[in-house]
Structures are given as C-alpha cells and as structure tokens.
Chain A
Amino acid sequence: MALPNTNIVQNAGLAVKRIRFFYALLIVIVALFGVRLFYVQVIRYDHYKNAALSDQLKEYQIPATRGIIEAHDGNQIVPIVLNQKLYTLFVDPTLVKNPQKVASAVAQIVGGHSDDYLSDIKTKNTRYVILAKRLTPAQSDKIMALQYPGLGTEEQDYRTYAQGQLGAQLLGFVNDEGVGKYGVEQALNQELKGTPGQLKAITDVRGVPLAASKDNIEQPAKAGNNVVLTINMGIQAQMEKILQDEAQKTKSKLLSAVIMDPNTGQIKAMANYPTYDPAHYQNVDDPSVFQDAAVSNAIEPGSIMKTLTTSAALDLGAVQPDTTFYDPAHWVVDGFNITDIEEDGGARQQSIASTLALSLNTGATWMLMQMGGGQISDKGNAAWYNYLHNKFQLGKPTNIEAGYESEGVVPKPNPNAPAIDLTYAETSFGQALQVTALQMAAALSSVVNGGTYYQPTLVDQTIDANGNVATNKPKVVANHVVSSKTGQELIPLMQNVVAHYRDTGFSYMNFDSHYLVGGKTGTAQIAEPGGAYYPDKFNGTYLGFVGGSSKPQYVIAVFNNQPTVDGYAGSRAGQPVFADLAHMLINDGYATPKQ
C-alpha cells in the first residue's frame, strides 16, 4: 500500500491555514470599518449632523408682495401705485481685480461718473457695497453679462407711480426698507405690506432646495391687501391743476383743498401745492412737502367758521334764519374791541343772512351771546365748545387714512382762564383756534347732510390676496350733530353768500342756477410767535358745497396760506379756487343738478 504524499498533505494544511488567516484578517478589517462607522454615525452623530446642517440647511425669507393702490376713474377702477421688480447693483471689493475697468463699465451701463463708482469699489473692510439702485432688467442683464468677479445685482420690489405726481401727498411713498411713509402708504402700511414667508430647506452646493428632507419648512408669503381709494382720478387731476395755477397766480406759500361727499365721508379729491414726485422722493430737499397739508396743517380758519357758529345758534334755537338784530359795529370783550372791516359800514340793523354775506365778526359774536342767553357767558361758551368739540369733532383727529394728521386746537371753556370770553368771542369768527381743511369739510358736511358726522375716509375697498373684496361702509362718528331742519336752514344762507359775491363784481361766482352752490369766505389773521397777529399776513380760506338737490353732493374746503393778493385773502385767494373747483364739477358732469 502506497503512503499518502506528505507534500500534498502538508500543502493542504498550509492552504487551510492561509485561508483561516485571510478570513481572520478580513474579519478584522470589516470590524475596523464597523467600529469606525459606529463611532462616526452613532457616537458622533450629533456633531456631524450639526456640521452638515450648518452647511446645507439654508433659511430664506420669502418677501411678500406689497398690495397695490387703485382709484376710481369714471366707472372703472385703475391702479395708481404698483410694484415693479428693479435691481440693486452691488460689489464685493475684495474680489475686484481691476477697479477702474469695472467702474468704467458700470458708468457706461448705469450712467453717472466712473470716479464715484471707483471710490465705492475701493472701499476697504467691507464685502458689500451698493453702487446703484433701481436698475432696469435690461441694465441688470448687461451688468451680469460682463461676468466681472464681485459684481452682482439683486432683485427688489419698488413702488412705481403710474400716474406720476398725481395724489403724491395723499399716497405717500415707500422707503428702501419697504416701510410706508406719509399718506396712505404709512397709515395702511400693516395692511399693504403683507406677511413674509419662510423657506428652510436642505440645499445643494448651489443653494437649490432638495425635496427629500423631512426638515424642510416652506411657508408661502402672504401678499398684502390691495386698496381701492375713494378718490376720483378725474376730479383729483383737475384739482391739482387748479391748485397749481392758483398758487402760482397768488404766490401762495401753500395751497390745500379737499372735496368730500358729505353723505358718506368719502374723499373724492385732496391735494396740496407745492407737491413732489413720489417716485423720486429721495431727491426732495424740503421734507415738509411730504406732508398732506390738508390733514396735517392746522391754521386759524377765519370767517368760514361763521357757518358753524350760525349752525350752532340755529340748532340751539338761539336765533332763527330770519332773525335781525342791532349791530353796534363793535363789541368790547375783556377790554378788547371786536370790530368788522371798514366796508361793512357802521352800526345798523343786521340779520343772520347779512352776518354771513358781509362776514360780520360782530354778528358772529352776537350769535355767541345769544347762545349764552344774551351775553358772552360761561353757559354760552360751554354750549359753543360742545358744538365745536363734541359735535363738529374739532380739536380731535378725524382718523382718516393718512400719516401725521393734526388734531388742531380748540380752547376749553375754562371760566378761570384769562380772557376766556375774548378767546371764545374770537372762536366764533374763526380765530383763537386751529383746524385743518379736512376737519372743516367734515364739520360742514355733518350740518348740510342733516346732522350725521361721517368719518372722513380715503378707502373704498380692500381686496385680499385671495381676491375677496371688503367694501368700506360709511362710519358714523356722531348722530344728531344738528337737526335736519338746521341743515336745511343753513343751505340757503350759504347760497345767499355766493349770490352776494356774484352781484358785487365777482363774476366768476356766477353758477348755473340749476345747481346748488353755497359757500363762505374766510380771511384769517396769522399769529406771531409773541401772541399778537401779523398786521400784513393773512390766510385765505373758503368753505362751500356744490351739486345735489335737497342735500349737497360735494363739500369743498380751500386753505390758501399767505397768498399775495390785493384785497381780502378770503375773497381774492380762497374764493377763486372754490369757484374753479365748483365750475369743474358742474361742467364735467360730476355734479348733479337740482331736481
């Protein structure tokens, strides 16, 4: 019997040992991997997860689209303030290799001087410098086509004003931080700005969000509400033209006007001159022009206040429309003489109608006396204050949707205050108190509409992001301001004032007899810093109504600050503006004739 080959046996044994060795080695290697993986993925899980998230997880705020502002144009609603995507040009100075070349290229595309851009590009210790704003998409594309390192553009929404300067002060503007300033933009900023959204997502190296991550958060932005104003663009445009022409003619410092619907409180037009271009607000030197003076400029209104004094006296029953009285041509109150202008003649019988037509300060003071039982008294002062403050809402903001509204000043009838009777006598003819054009329009509206004080408003509708329309209903602030009988009694008295001026040489006060037109002039002295009045500075005001039949359709207030005219500021600087506005409303078919 042959013995097994020991070599083969030995070789087989060696092979087995090698196999076992390499198997063990494989196990060790796999174990090493396993231990390392365990360490990285379990022990150091939080560390590496946070490191990855810090690099990959990006959080973005999605800006909300600001609501647009629209207005009425005939039967249509047209946008007047919209959004437009423009671009901000920025540079990272650390990445720019050839500043001169970059500056020249930017100047060629954007305009301006390359030296200005060069100094910006060379700014030290920063990686973000804005070179220009409001680039058009075409300009942005040209900049990006240059492919200069460090030069870039970013998109931003800017407000654009399709109607140019129309309604600049009542609209306001939006600054570069996206905050509304002045006007409707400020007052309704919360409603217009919307709610930004949020995007939190794992992104790739280019910042593109990856869909498959349970940690992704996407909250869409909620666009701001669109607002439809009560403004009629046709009336507004013509009012602004009239104010511009009149202000230049009378060389006024400031001219404001309001046209209001007395039966709803809706403002149909409101403007001032001088004005500005809201698309270029940053170029304005004097920021006072941003103010809507019709709501922010409170002045002593002068004799237009006599319409409210008459209303209060009629409503209290202290006088009747046909009451006559003996006017001594002057009253002495607290040691001071209250007189009329020379043209009114001397002491004689007067009436309520002549008090308004001739604008008798003594007549207005007499009516205040009747409110107090025959003389100026605490009782009369308190009754008049009640009408001024609680019924006509003077000395309080109207809460119209406009920034920086002034509440004005109405003195309280404090019996212990020095010269309170003189103060109150002066308030009866529009001095010693301060009101805005809007306040006067709203107050007269509450009389001629039969006794309801409606809150003045610029907003007709709001439209949310889903297209739901909410109509702004007229808001009643006070009822029974005066009786409807009082309103009906005042209207012909004010018509008589218009007729008086028509018949005494002011031919422009000749209106078509089919239309209801009434008004009152005001020539107000301007107070000096020391407390007295300037002898040669006046404001010209006018308060009136146009259109409608039993109740006026439009109430108009005009405040003309420091016009340079021959004669009385009221009749020479306030009244012509009213006349132009009234003729415009009649001729262009906005005013309806009497039935």
Chain B
Amino acid sequence: MTYSSSLALSRSQFSGRSHNSVSFRASSRTLGPISNTIILIVLACLLGLLYLTQVTKTNAYGYTINTLQQQSAQLKSENQDLQVSSARLQSVDRVAASDQAKSMVAVAPSGTAQ
C-alpha cells in the first residue's frame, strides 16, 4: 500500500458516514518514492547488464580469433614440415643413392660440336 492509497482508503472509509463530506473518489494510483527508487535501481542494473552482455559478446570474438590463429599456426607448421620433407627427398645424397643413379655411368665428353 502506498501512502496516497492509504489516505484514499481512510477517506473512503469515512465517506459513508458523513453526509456532509464531499463525494470522494480515490485518485488514480501513482508510484511513490520507494517504488521510484527501486525501479531506478532495477533500470540501472538492467543497463549494466546490457553493457556486460555487449562487452562479453565482443570479448567472445577473442576466443574465435585465438582458435583461428591456432589453426593458422598449425597449418603453417604442417607446411613447414612438408617443405622440409620435400627438400630432403630432393637432397643430393638421396638422389645419388637412388636406384636410378646407381644404374648410371660417368662419361667424359667424346667430342665438341663446332
């Protein structure tokens, strides 16, 4: 019960008894100072919550970025490993030891085209 409604109630309680009283109709309900304060506090909290959700949402992108960066680093590492493997497969020692190389013979030029 608000203060004004309590006054209205008491007036209405007395209105039936005194014929000299002015016919009283309870005024429309309004919010009192306590309600106002509480509503203000709740609104402030809601605003704060709204801010937090927006910041959290933006921060969540950090996790997405981190995941993508980890994937990128992983792919770069795999690419590096492949480059190393490829270079090793083409190494002079490996080629020289291959079956094809072993079946070749060394020759000196037999002549020179003029």
| Segment from A22-30, A253-261, A422-430, A474-482 that makes contact with B | A22-30
Contact of A212 with B83 in the complex, beta carbons under 8 Å: no
**Binary B-proximity of A434-459 (CB < 8 A = 1, otherwise 0):** 00000000000000000000000000
User: Which residue, of A16, A160, A210, A237, has the highest number of chain B Cβ atoms within 10 A?
Assistant: A210
Q: Is B30 an interface residue (CB 8 A)?
A: no
**Binary B-proximity of A66-103 (CB < 8 A = 1, otherwise 0):** 00000001000011101111000000000000000000
Contact of A212 with B33 in the complex, beta carbons under 8 Å: no
Q: Considering only CB atoms, which chain A residue lies closest to B112 in the complex?
A: A514
Contact of A1 with B92 in the complex, beta carbons under 8 Å: no
Q: Considering only CB atoms, which chain B residue lies closest to A70 in the complex?
A: B87
Contact of A4 with B17 in the complex, beta carbons under 8 Å: yes
Contact partner, A587, options B18, B66, B108, Cβ 8 Å? B108
| Segment from A7-15, A111-119, A380-388, A549-557 that makes contact with B | A7-15
In the bound complex, residues from chain B placing their C-beta under 8 Å from that of A520 are none
Q: Is B104 an interface residue (CB 8 A)?
A: no
A337 CB, nearest partner CB in chain B, Å: 45
Contact of B87 with A30 in the complex, beta carbons under 8 Å: no
In the bound complex, residues from chain B placing their C-beta under 8 Å from that of A208 are 62-63, 66
Q: Is A40 an interface residue (CB 8 A)?
A: no
Contact of B91 with A163 in the complex, beta carbons under 8 Å: yes
In the bound complex, residues from chain A placing their C-beta under 8 Å from that of B96 are 237
In the bound complex, residues from chain A placing their C-beta under 8 Å from that of B106 are 587
A84–B87 Cα distance when bound, in Å, is 12
Contact of B34 with A162 in the complex, beta carbons under 8 Å: no
A244–B33 Cα distance when bound, in Å, is 100
In the bound complex, residues from chain B placing their C-beta under 8 Å from that of A152 are none
A536 CB, nearest partner CB in chain B, Å: 37
In the bound complex, residues from chain B placing their C-beta under 8 Å from that of A79 are 83, 87
A79–B90 Cα distance when bound, in Å, is 10
Contact of B109 with A586 in the complex, beta carbons under 8 Å: yes
Contact of B93 with A1 in the complex, beta carbons under 8 Å: no
Q: Is B22 an interface residue (CB 8 A)?
A: no
A233–B93 Cα distance when bound, in Å, is 11
B58 CB, nearest partner CB in chain A, Å: 4
Contact of B88 with A30 in the complex, beta carbons under 8 Å: no
Contact of B107 with A587 in the complex, beta carbons under 8 Å: yes
Q: Considering only CB atoms, which chain B residue lies closest to A79 in the complex?
A: B87
Q: Is A19 an interface residue (CB 8 A)?
A: yes
Contact of A211 with B59 in the complex, beta carbons under 8 Å: yes
Contact of B108 with A211 in the complex, beta carbons under 8 Å: no
A15–B32 Cα distance when bound, in Å, is 14
In the bound complex, residues from chain A placing their C-beta under 8 Å from that of B65 are 209, 211
In the bound complex, residues from chain B placing their C-beta under 8 Å from that of A5 are 13
Q: Is A149 an interface residue (CB 8 A)?
A: no
Q: Is B98 an interface residue (CB 8 A)?
A: no
Q: Considering only CB atoms, which chain A residue lies closest to B56 in the complex?
A: A212
A498-556: which residues lie under 8 A (CB-CB) from chain B?
A: 512, 514
A592 CB, nearest partner CB in chain B, Å: 10
Q: Is B23 an interface residue (CB 8 A)?
A: no
**Binary A-proximity of B68-99 (CB < 8 A = 1, otherwise 0):** 00000000010011011001101111001000
Q: Is A433 an interface residue (CB 8 A)?
A: no
In the bound complex, residues from chain B placing their C-beta under 8 Å from that of A587 are 106-109
Contact of A30 with B41 in the complex, beta carbons under 8 Å: yes
Contact of B10 with A12 in the complex, beta carbons under 8 Å: yes
Contact of B37 with A27 in the complex, beta carbons under 8 Å: yes
Contact of A85 with B77 in the complex, beta carbons under 8 Å: yes
Q: Is B103 an interface residue (CB 8 A)?
A: no
User: Which residue, of B32, B38, B92, B106, has the highest number of chain A Cβ atoms within 10 A?
Assistant: B92
Q: Considering only CB atoms, which chain A residue lies closest to B9 in the complex?
A: A12
A114 CB, nearest partner CB in chain B, Å: 29
Q: Chain A: interface residue count, which band?
A: 35 or more
Contact of B6 with A16 in the complex, beta carbons under 8 Å: yes
Contact of A84 with B62 in the complex, beta carbons under 8 Å: no
Contact of A8 with B6 in the complex, beta carbons under 8 Å: no
A137–B107 Cα distance when bound, in Å, is 45
Q: Considering only CB atoms, which chain B residue lies closest to A164 in the complex?
A: B93
Q: Is A417 an interface residue (CB 8 A)?
A: no
Q: Is A391 an interface residue (CB 8 A)?
A: no
Contact of B10 with A9 in the complex, beta carbons under 8 Å: yes
**Binary B-proximity of A18-38 (CB < 8 A = 1, otherwise 0):** 010011001100100000000
Q: A4-B14, A166-B92, A233-B92 are in contact. Are A82 and B58 (CB under 8 A)?
A: no
In the bound complex, residues from chain B placing their C-beta under 8 Å from that of A589 are 109
In the bound complex, residues from chain B placing their C-beta under 8 Å from that of A137 are 77, 81
Contact of A211 with B62 in the complex, beta carbons under 8 Å: yes
Q: A84-B81, A209-B66 are in contact. Are A23 and B33 (CB under 8 A)?
A: yes
Contact of A162 with B84 in the complex, beta carbons under 8 Å: yes
Q: Is A193 an interface residue (CB 8 A)?
A: no
In the bound complex, residues from chain A placing their C-beta under 8 Å from that of B9 are 12
A22–B92 Cα distance when bound, in Å, is 92
Q: Is A572 an interface residue (CB 8 A)?
A: no
A83–B30 Cα distance when bound, in Å, is 76
Q: Considering only CB atoms, which chain B residue lies closest to A2 in the complex?
A: B17
Contact of B109 with A212 in the complex, beta carbons under 8 Å: no
Contact of A593 with B108 in the complex, beta carbons under 8 Å: no
A161–B35 Cα distance when bound, in Å, is 78
A535–B108 Cα distance when bound, in Å, is 41
Q: Is A583 an interface residue (CB 8 A)?
A: yes
B63 CB, nearest partner CB in chain A, Å: 6
A192 CB, nearest partner CB in chain B, Å: 16
B106 CB, nearest partner CB in chain A, Å: 7
A208 CB, nearest partner CB in chain B, Å: 5
A147 CB, nearest partner CB in chain B, Å: 20
Q: A23-B34, A79-B87, A163-B91 are in contact. Are A15 and B107 (CB under 8 A)?
A: no
A586–B106 Cα distance when bound, in Å, is 12
Contact of B6 with A212 in the complex, beta carbons under 8 Å: no
A544 CB, nearest partner CB in chain B, Å: 19
Closest 3 CB pairs of A and B: A162-B87, A212-B58, A211-B62
8 extra A-B contacts, CB within 8 A, seeds A162-B87, A587-B109: A4-B17, A16-B3, A23-B33, A23-B34, A208-B63, A211-B61, A212-B59, A234-B92
A-B contact pairs, 16 of them (CB 8 A): A2-B17, A9-B10, A15-B1, A16-B3, A19-B3, A78-B87, A85-B81, A137-B77, A164-B91, A166-B91, A211-B62, A211-B65, A212-B58, A212-B62, A587-B109, A593-B112
Chain B: residues with CB nearer than 8 A to chain A?
1-3, 6-7, 9-10, 13-14, 17-18, 32-34, 37-38, 41, 55, 58-59, 61-63, 65-66, 77, 80-81, 83-84, 87-88, 90-93, 96, 106-109, 112
